[in-house]
Amino acid sequence: MMNEKKIKAVIFDMGGVLLKTADASAREAIAERFGVTRRELEAYIFSSDSSIQSEEGQLSDVEHWHNVMRHFGQPVGDYIQLYNEYFAGDYIDQRLLDFAASLKPVYTLALLSNAWENARTLLSQRFDFLDRFDISIFSYEVKARKPDARIYRVMLERLDAAPEETIFIDDVQENVEGAQALGMHALRFTDSDTVIAELSGFLNHNQ
């Protein structure tokens, strides 16, 4: 039975869970400047073939953002200015991060995120949170992105844990289902209060 083994590790997604957008005005301004809706802008930035290829380590972050500029008919140049503008309204949910960190040393704390190439470097320049995790894996580093089973298996190997000894939190249902398909416990993130309550209850039950 899955519940017979105690939980050894808690794994968090990043974007939409720990890293959130508090102020979308910069994104709205970029979309207006490009002559598109914010939804159209975000769809290409996050869901296009270019984005997926960069998340899988097949395309550099520079190439992806140059593709963004070309796609919207903008001059191709140094993408960092556009990148910084686009993510200007993002912040780390400190309360959720502190809660996650409080789970140590009882549990190994891990971060598992789909991310464009070079994300580790760029994130470290903007935020200081990666060292709170015992293990962090970005999709481009292992050439596989959620919900591909390969990325979960890499995480399990690095954790030295069986699937049923882990619990994973993600805001995307297909990523939750991908983890569950391997036998991992998983929770769908909706908001911080709910996930803290649900995760606390689950861990208390599985001590």
Mean pLDDT throughout 106-116? 98
Tell me the pTM: 0.94
Mean pLDDT throughout 23-36? 97
Q: What is the chain written as a DSSP string?
A: -GGGSPP-EEEE--BTTTEEES--HHHHHHHHHHTS-HHHHHHHHHHSHHHHHHHTTSS-HHHHHHHHHHHTT-----THHHHHHHTTTEEE-HHHHHHHHHTTTTSEEEEEE---TTHHHHHHHH---GGGSSEEEEHHHHT--TTSHHHHHHHHHHHT--GGGEEEEESSHHHHHHHHHTT-EEEE-S-HHHHHHHHHHHHHHT-
Residue-wise pLDDT tens digits, 131-160: 999 999 999 999 999 999 999 999 999 999
Domain 2-20+91-205: which topology? Rossmann fold (3.40.50)
* Per-residue pLDDT, 184: 98
Sequence spans of domains, the chain: 2-20+91-205, 23-86
Mean pLDDT throughout 115-123? 94
Mean pLDDT throughout 44-56? 98
Which band of pLDDT confidence, cut at 50, 70 and 90, is reported for residue 4?
A: low
Mean pLDDT throughout 100-122? 96
